[in-house]
Amino acid sequence: MFDLRDPSRLAGVVEEAAAAFGGLGLLVNNAGVPLKKPALEIGPADWDRVMATNLTGTFFLTQAAGRWFSKAGQSGAVINVSSTHALVGMADRAAYGIAKAGIVQMTRMLAIEWAPLGIRVNAVAPGRVDTEARAGSFAQPGYLDSTLARIPMGRLGSVEEVASAVAYLARPEASYITGQVLVLDGGVTAQ
């Protein structure tokens, strides 16, 4: 275990992983902390906690992996987990959405910069997904129904669907894809 908010530790984490697995071919950035709070109430500690994990830590871990790929002279893939909050506005999600939007732009910028090195950088942006962490929210009266009413497909996504999208972007068949964001939201952002 390591703390993503400690950039000084991240290069060592990548080296340890490469040593343990005999190399490195893929980094999936899936760490994140939520924050549901009105923008007028977000304090510096809230902001720093969300940004340090969701954006800053993700950048520096990705940088460490990029350095490893480059030094090893091998291609690699980075897949960032963003969110539909990066693509559409929503009340009470400012810090989270801004951090996830930063992930989307980081994906594009690094994809361009690292393409000559053979490093692909893509992202997935899930919408509402049925996870254990959301069970409490979905159990609140009316919350699930109002959520489903905003999703054209009328259902939540599954963890397996998100994992399958990540797995696809990691596969050799996706070797010509870089700088892209694959949105998994049941049609919400198409509206």
Please identify which of the residues 96, 143, 168, 176 carries the catalytic annotation: 96
Determine the Cα–Cα distance for residues 66 and 74; give it in Å rounded to an integer: 10
134 Cβ contact list (under 8 Å, min separation 6): 128
Q: CB count, 10 Å around CB of 181? A: 17
Question: Roughly what angle, to the nearest 10 degrees, separates helices 7-21 and 58-72?
Answer: 40
How far is it, in rounded angstroms, from Cα 7 to Cα 108?
Answer: 22
Question: Is 176 annotated as catalytic?
Answer: no
For residues 52, 63, 185 and 130, what is the CA-based torsion angle, rounded to 10 degrees?
-60
Residues with Cβ within 8 Å of residue 92, at least 6 apart in sequence: 36, 37, 38, 39
Cβ atoms of residues 49 and 92 within 8 Å: no
What single letter denotes the amino acid at residue 142?
G
Residues designated catalytic: 96
